[in-house]
Amino acid sequence: MMKKFLSVLFLVFFATNAWAKSGVNIFAYPRKVPESSIYNQYGKSFKLEDFQGNFLLVIFWSKTCIPCLREMEDLSKFAKKVAGNNIQVLLVSPAEDWETAEEQRAFLRRYKGEDLDFYVDRKNALAADFGIFTSPHTVLVNADSMEIGRIRGSVDWDDEDVIEYIYKIKAQHQGTGNEE
């Protein structure tokens, strides 16, 4: 009896775990992105609307998030593969994670993410406006600067099926090129 119970428990755990990894949520209707700013390594502020015309993957992460660090190299490979296709990856981390931009650059180099565009979120304003309190968490934004979905948790970004799926989402939610 105990063996049967453990077998069922094992199956439920792994079925639930597999489901959690497919944490993609595409919304029925696009949502306006928050107005909060993020800041590049030079301290210049940007709003997500400033990237209008590109399909964005806004990845909220932290230097203390082990899953975030594990996916960094694959994310960098993904960004290189989709470059030139109006897909842009923005890494957004809490500003309090870093003393300086050089510290952040060195950290990204260590985890093979040095080619990624990185920004900081002062006071976690953008993350809070999105209602994001865990990482990694990816927000998908179409070319009209409208949020069209989210991905919770880690992703195998360098997997060809994942890349193809992102292209498919981009095509289905292209937008008009104008803000809605």
pLDDT tens for 79-123 read 999 999 999 999 999 999 999 999 999 999 999 999 999 999 999
Q: For residue 34, what pLDDT is reported?
A: 98
* Amino acid residing at 71: E
Q: For residue 176, what pLDDT is reported?
A: 61
Q: For residue 23, what pLDDT is reported?
A: 82
Query: For every residue of 145-174, which 3-state class applies, written as one string?
Result: CEEEEEEECCCCCCCHHHHHHHHHHHHHCC
Q: For residue 1, what pLDDT is reported?
A: 57
| Domains defined along the chain, listed by start | 22-172 (3.40.30.10)
| E strands, 61-177, in order | 87-94, 117-121, 137-141, 146-152
CA atoms within 13 Å, Cβ hemisphere of 171: 6
Q: For residue 8, what pLDDT is reported?
A: 38
pTM of the model: 0.85
**Residue numbers in the chain where pLDDT is lower than 50:** 2, 4-21, 179-180
Q: For residue 63, what pLDDT is reported?
A: 97
